[in-house]
Amino acid sequence: MTSSQPLLGKVALITGAGSGIGKAVAHTFAASGAQVMVNDVNDVGGETVAREVGGIFLKADLANMSQTRQLCKEAITSAGRVDILVNNAGFQTMSPVEEFPDEIWMKMVHVMLIAPFQMTKHLLPNMKEIGWGRIINISSIHGLVASPFKSAYVAAKHGLLGLTKTVALEVGQHGITVNAICPGFVRTPLVEGQIANQAKLNNLTEEEVVEKIMLEPAAIKHLIEPSEIAGLARFLASDEARSITGASYSIDLGWTAR
């Protein structure tokens, strides 16, 4: 292993890697020597990223339990093993609790909490057999604090931190670490769409939306780049982070410092 390729020879499976943070992680891991398996529900995005990083595309809808189980089987069959799991897939929608559609609420919790549990459950035996593993859960500052109208997202992300800590305690003796990353607002297609909608709704420029609405509690008033999240994920996946487990790392522009 070289310092420029700290993940050389490792096999990584990244969920929701067709765009945004997952895409950045896929590119960063591939550049660091890993063989990358790209999961997404979107064929076009997933196949494009897999082609860009010289990896494998594995389509699955993580809101479906049987598809999630099958994804784990296909990953091990395709690459022989999975050394690194990045649970990244997710989505957001906003609504007051009393107006939140039951189906959407449950789907969000399923994709962002139940699916990571399933992925972890089904890939841990493989990691234990190898005697080495890294599980990185992409949570959010909303795993640490709350905002109105995001009950499903906040509940799922808080739960993901609990899952991270519990599994870390269970598997540390097997050479496996489990950690979470908690980003603030990241420059992804989803967030950029939210900015445009808020600008129209509030008669503001997009720059004003970022500074006055989205990042009002933050000390630094700019969006986080996906590559920043990917860089931390690469560190947590490396041998340099072998003594770090059960931790939650905030990249939040000072949001939770208050």
58, two tokens = 């594995």
Task: Mark whether 153 is an active-site residue.
Answer: yes
State the residue for tokens 């962002």: 112
Q: Are 94 and 149 in contact (CB under 8 A)?
A: yes
Do residues 191 and 222 lie in contact, with contact meaning Cβ atoms separated by under 8 Å? no
Tell me the C-alpha distance between 90 and 112, whole Å: 6
Backbone angles phi and psi of 244, in degrees to 5: -105, 120
Amino acid at 20: G
| Active-site residue, selected from the candidate residues 105, 153, 249, 255 | 153
- Candidates 156, 135, 127; CA nearest to 245 is 135
Alpha-carbon span 106 to 36, nearest angstrom: 30
Residues recognised as catalytic: 153
